[in-house]
Amino acid sequence: MNWTVLAESAGALAQGLLVTVEVSLLALILALVLGVLIAVARVAPNATARRASTAYVEVLRNIPLLVQLFFLFFALPTLPLFPIKLDAFTCGVIALGVYSSAFVAEAIRSGIAGVARGQLEAALSSGMSYASAMRLVVLPQAIAKTIPPLGNTVLNLIKNSSLVSTVSVLDLIGTAQQAGAATFAYTTLYAGAALGYLVLTLPTAFGVNALEKRLNR
Amino acid sequence: MSWLFAPATLLFLAGGLGTTLLLAAIAITISLIAGILLALARLSPLGPVTWTATIYIEGMRALPVLLVIFFAYFALPGIIGIKLDPFAAGVIAMSAFTAALVAEIVRAGILAVPRGIREAAAASGLSGTQILRLIVLPIALGQMMPALVAQFVTLLKDTSLTAVIGILELTRRGQIVYSQPPFQPIPVFALIAVIYFSVNFGLSSIGRRLEARP
């Protein structure tokens, strides 16, 4: 460990941590909004909506996030008629949010599908209205089942936010990389960056576990 | 678009796909073996072994794979005193990272094997190692195939990140193609997206078929 470099870079790394949090939070909001819409479309009675949303999920899940990010950053500005020039930060948020929305949609869909049909039927036959059967019986169980995969998606989103450094955003990794190129104290700087990610991911994982236990009681 | 489908260009990109698949195949093999060993270590009755494995697994799972790749390429050579070329660093990073995730899948698979099966094997005179090797691991591996396949699809996508340390895999070669005349990234990205999609969708479909089997 190179303590001098660590002391000198601590401020920059903290700034990088803040950028990582910003990218992650904005992308998470985008992913949740899009993900819920896609999940609803995936269980819709309309076949076209189902097919379109399935295609959306499969295409996004099976192409590397880096390729999607590079497409937004390097390819969109070369569109022939209406070139779209977005800054690196915006590209990062959009790519990460849209990519993660496919996983959010799958988590929600599997949660709803995981509640046995008999539950809804039993609730209805015991005299509940459809709305209260959904609200009191199906959805509480679906949410409990959704928490583990959704929590995983959030953790992956935080970790995947590191890809914005490849289009020169100075997030945690970008900052470590920049300082490393100047000082060659890579081990120290990566340890600092790793600590930053642990500060974000470990409490998230802990929170998800606690929530899961609470909801499954 | 004839420039993109010129034999030399297609051959160049096919070589990139080859590198992507080779990197993924080597990393899958190493991470599968290391992952099983890590899972067994985490389940071991020896406290220090359990703790070492747990710290490794949880630590890796909490970090971005890009950080592990950068570490293997820029920091590891200084620590071990051996210069690593990008491909070797990529293999080390992808294997070390995926091993932690495979370990958790294997551990869950082993824990899901019913106690009775283990006890029946013990009662019929098999030793502890035999029970693990002949009974528990085969059953566990069968059950966790879908999760493993999903993990390997993630690994295949993550190999694209090794482009940033200069491995000439599919994504990096795509960048090289569009940085030359006629400088058109859109068709290049469309083509490599289709290639990644086909490979990963194919792999996922195999995984789903394994899942559908009783």
pLDDT digits (tens, 9 = 90+) for A149-183: 999 999 999 999 999 999 999 999 999 999 999 99
Q: According to DSSP H, which parts of A43-87 are helical?
A: 47-62, 65-70
pLDDT higher than threshold 80 for residue A131: no
Minimal Cβ distance to B64: which of A59, A162, A187: A162
pLDDT higher than threshold 90 for residue B210: no
Q: Which residues 6+ apart lie within 8 Å of A127 measured at CB? A: none
Confidence of residue A189 (pLDDT cuts 50, 70, 90): very high
| Cβ-Cβ contacts under 8 Å, A58 against chain B | 197, 201
Rounded to whole angstroms, the Cα distance separating A39 from A60 reads 14
**Separation in Å, CA of B185 to nearest CA in chain A:** 5
pLDDT of residue A2: 84
Burial bucket for residue B203 (CB in 10 Å: 0-12, 13-18, 19+): middle
pLDDT of residue B209: 81
pLDDT higher than threshold 90 for residue A118: no
Q: Which residues 6+ apart lie within 8 Å of A73 measured at CB? A: A86, A88, A91, A167
For B112, list phi and psi in degrees, rounded to 5.
Answer: -85, -10
The DSSP code sequence of B82-120 is: ----HHHHHHHHHHHHHHHHHHHHHHHHHHTS-HHHHHH
- What are the tens digits of pLDDT across the range B142-157? 889 889 999 999 999 9
| Cβ-Cβ contacts under 8 Å, B157 against chain A | 62-65
Average pLDDT, stretch B184-200?
96
Q: Is some CB atom of chain B closer than 8 A to the CB atom of A55?
A: no
Confidence of residue A107 (pLDDT cuts 50, 70, 90): very high
Respond yes or no on whether the N-terminal peptide bond of residue B114 is cis (omega within 30° of 0): no
- What rounded mean pLDDT belongs to chain B? 93
pLDDT of residue B199: 96
Residue A204 in contact with residue A158, Cβ under 8 Å?
A: yes
Minimal Cβ distance to A67: which of B59, B78, B189: B189
ipTM for the complex shown: 0.92
Rounded to whole angstroms, the Cα distance separating A59 from B193 reads 9
Average pLDDT, stretch A86-115?
93
| Cβ-Cβ contacts under 8 Å, A149 against chain B | none
Q: Is A127 left (phi over 0), alpha (psi -120 to 50) or beta?
A: left
Mean pLDDT lowest among A7-16, A83-92, A132-141, B117-126: A132-141
Q: Is some CB atom of chain B closer than 8 A to the CB atom of A159?
A: yes
Cα–Cα nearest to B211, from B147, B160, B166, B158: B147
Average pLDDT, stretch B175-203?
95
Minimal Cβ distance to B171: which of A67, A161, A198: A67
- What are the tens digits of pLDDT across the range B15-31? 999 999 999 999 999 99
Rounded to whole angstroms, the Cα distance separating A41 from A177 reads 41
pLDDT of residue A148: 87
- Tokens 């992650």 identify what position? A24
Percent of chain A at pLDDT above 90?
67
Minimal Cβ distance to A186: which of B75, B157, B204: B75
pLDDT of residue A28: 98
Percent of chain B at pLDDT above 70?
98
Minimal Cβ distance to B66: which of A79, A162, A198: A162
In which element (H, E) is residue A114 found? none
pLDDT higher than threshold 80 for residue A216: no
Residue A30 in contact with residue A98, Cβ under 8 Å?
A: yes
Provide the terminal-to-terminal Cα distance of chain B, rounded to the nearest Å: 47
Q: Is some CB atom of chain B closer than 8 A to the CB atom of A182?
A: no
Check A79 against B164: CB less than 8 A apart.
no
Confidence of residue B211 (pLDDT cuts 50, 70, 90): low
Q: Is some CB atom of chain B closer than 8 A to the CB atom of A150?
A: no
pLDDT of residue A6: 87
Q: Is some CB atom of chain B closer than 8 A to the CB atom of A173?
A: yes
Which amino acid belongs to residue A27?
A: A
Which amino acid belongs to residue A95?
A: A
Q: Is some CB atom of chain B closer than 8 A to the CB atom of A212?
A: no
Cα–Cα nearest to A101, from A141, A53, A139, A147: A53
Interface mutation vs chain B, best among A23, A56, A58, A67, most B CBs within 10 Å: A67
How many Cα atoms within 13 Å fall on the side-chain side of residue B203? 24
CA-based diameter of chain B, in Å?
Answer: 72
Check A197 against B74: CB less than 8 A apart.
no
Interface mutation vs chain B, best among A23, A24, A66, most B CBs within 10 Å: A66
Q: Which residue of B has its CA nearest to A163?
A: B66
Average pLDDT, stretch A7-29?
96
* Torsion sign across C-alpha atoms B92, B95, B101, B106: negative
Average pLDDT, stretch B26-52?
95
pLDDT of residue A41: 87
pLDDT of residue B79: 93
